Structure 1
């Protein structure tokens, strides 16, 4: 069985620029990306070449992603997305929001405690 690694954590912060500066200085990270979030608000990704924090803000703090404030989801990178989804289903959990956009394919699921996970694969 392939070993997964933590790819990113998406957290809601009040000031993504301030948080990005802290993490870049404290951890020696760099800014990987910044821009508008697909669901409103904006996000800055800071980290290394293999993992990052997604620092998200939406001043309205409402809508479909208020459920996890301050933790929105944990991202896990896998080599085989179909095999990972089969494991999720075998454990009685329900994958949702399948999507394929740059840079990879992904799906989401909630665990038994309501924590949301994004499972992503960058393999072709």
Structure 2
């Protein structure tokens, strides 16, 4: 059997366009689609031609509980890059703070949070 491939993840943000711009700037992705979502919100699909994240907004203000304390919560997104140092510089250039740097077998990583408090893990296996 051929393994199934991960195609996308859908998560809620307060401003899908803002989050999409951040992901484009840091990871070199592009918007694949944008439009109205259910409940009069907005949705933006951003990523590569074959993998993406669907950024969903209901519209209005949302409260965000701690994801690590909520069953089914999104703990973080792991993003694989070739050049970890260059990715970290783009995170800094975007005004975000890289933290929790770790090198382990088989790679190195750091984390950052976006404007909604969503955690991203940036990892490279080229620099271990």
TM-score after normalising by structure 2: 0.45
State the structure with bigger RCO (CA 8 A, min sep 6), 1 or 2: 1
Greater strand fraction, Structure 1 or Structure 2: 1
